[in-house]
Amino acid sequence: MIPLLKPQIDKNVVKRISKILSEGWLGMGYVTKQFEDEIAKFLQLKNRFVVATNTGTSALHLALIIAGVKNSDEVIVPSFNFVADHQVILMVGARPVFCDIREDNLGVDCTSIKKLITKKTKALMVLHYAGIPCDLNGVYKLAKEYNLRVIEDATHAFGTKYNGEYIGSFGDITCFSFDPIKIVTSVDGGAVVVKKAEDMDKLRKLRVLGINRDTIERYKSNRVWEYDVITEGFRYHLPNVNAAIGLSQNRKVKEFIRNRQKYCKTYSKFLSKIKEIIVPETNYKNVSPFMYYVRVTNNKRDTLIDYLMAKKIQTGIHWIPAHKFSYFKQYAKARLPVTEKIFKEIISLPLHSYMNRKTLKYIIETIYKFF
Ligand SMILES: *Cc1c(COP(=O)(O)O)cnc(C)c1O
């Protein structure tokens, strides 16, 4: 079976992990800090701060707290998104309000957002689907006009550029994920990027149960047990072992991205010739592609999935929109016609950081055979 997504773990990871295991400090420590520094370097951050977390979901949760979102506030978010985003909005006691998306980039539709803004709206949580940036010019214009915070879910977009700058290097609050299937993985992991040093300090306390000195600082002195708890907090820190895996991956990320861009362009070049297929509207030049998707029209998507499965090609649907779930259907205030349509057409095809030509050719030819 050709898997849909596949982590790229290279040999030197084992060496790095053994070193850390033998040093005996498995929890958060100097490697976590190194990983944060490398992320900042890769994203060319100036006047921005990175705080690593144990998952992308916890990064999004802390981002909402930093944005000051709380009880009975509303957060506008696309229903066409991973349910992590919707759950964290509930976790801070706020209410998700589902907006629609645009057909060209499958990111938020600002006209749809505008209609949903109320006095209770506190933030916009926007996604860069499959690594393709959403309409950030439009989003930040709305945010300014209505005084809203913006949380960019950049879990798909580590390495994507917008107007020539890396996503994360210019926004309000940006969140990344390094979970098992993301381009860079630390097995599980995430990061929040913020503008103010003060917010970085807050994040560092929020991720270690509200303790005022994290383990690195405490072990510098002999009196490890002396600390104060000064805020709410969670057990969200990223251990050294995970950071080491992330670090070794991060050093190769440019190569991962270049390869993925090449594979996506090959897919688009051939698949765009099929009448029933709509390929993404991008040349992938500044996109760090987390997934490759196409839209299949004429109700042929589900039979294509079965056909490819029989030919040992795994595909996926990202995602069932949240307003279709029992727990979330109550949060759809407006009709979401584009979301409904895309949900019936979307299919993700295998995309890895290293694919051989034969595999790619086989997938494309099999799709041709189906049509
Ligand atoms: C991966 C992902 C997350 C959550 O990240 P985890 O690290 O898995 O917790 C959130 N949103 C989207 C769109 C994702 O793909």
Over range 175-186, report the average pLDDT.
96
Interval 99-156: pLDDT, tens: 999 999 999 999 999 999 999 999 999 999 999 999 999 999 999 999 999 999 999 9
Nearest CA to ligand 1 atom 2: 155
For ligand 1, whether the C-beta of 205 sits within 6 Å is no
192 in Cβ contact with 173 (< 8 Å): yes
Check residue 33 and report its DSSP letter: H
Residues paired with 150 in a beta bridge: 124
Atom of ligand 1 nearest to the CA of 178: 7
Q: At what angle do helices 83-91 and 56-66 cross, to 10 degrees?
A: 40
For ligand 1, whether the C-beta of 131 sits within 6 Å is no
Confidence of residue 299 (pLDDT cuts 50, 70, 90): very high
For ligand 1, whether the C-beta of 56 sits within 6 Å is yes
Q: How far is the CA of 156 from the centre of ligand 1 (A)?
A: 8
Nearest CA to ligand 1 atom 10: 84
The pLDDT of residue 42: 97
Q: Which of 128, 153, 181 to mutate to test the pocket of ligand 1 (most atoms within 8 A of CB)?
A: 153
CA 2/CA 228 separation, integer angstroms: 51
CA 182/CA 168 separation, integer angstroms: 16
> Which element (helix H / strand E) includes 30?
helix 30-42
> In the sheet that 292-296 helps form, which strands lie side by side, from edge to edge?
277-278, 292-296, 346-349
CA 299/CA 359 separation, integer angstroms: 26
The pLDDT of residue 82: 98
> Which element (helix H / strand E) includes 268?
helix 253-271
Confidence of residue 16 (pLDDT cuts 50, 70, 90): confident
Residues 6+ apart with CB under 8 A from 106: 80, 129, 130, 132, 293, 342, 346
Nearest CA to ligand 1 atom 12: 82
The pLDDT of residue 232: 94
CA 205/CA 201 separation, integer angstroms: 7
For ligand 1, whether the C-beta of 109 sits within 6 Å is no
Strands (DSSP E) along 79-189, which ranges?
Answer: 95-99, 121-127, 149-153, 161-162, 165-166, 173-177
The rounded mean pLDDT for the chain is: 95
107 in Cβ contact with 78 (< 8 Å): yes
Interval 33-70: pLDDT, tens: 999 999 999 999 999 999 999 999 999 999 999 999 99
Q: How far is the CA of 15 from the centre of ligand 1 (A)?
A: 28
Please state the pTM of the whole predicted model.
0.96
Atom of ligand 1 nearest to the CA of 58: 9
The pLDDT of residue 249: 87
Over range 299-316, report the average pLDDT.
98
Pairing relationship of beta strands 95-99 and 74-78 according to DSSP bridges: parallel
Check residue 130 and report its DSSP letter: G
Confidence of residue 216 (pLDDT cuts 50, 70, 90): low
Interval 230-288: pLDDT, tens: 999 999 999 999 999 999 888 899 999 999 999 999 999 999 999 999 999 999 999 99
Q: How far is the CA of 362 from the centre of ligand 1 (A)?
A: 30
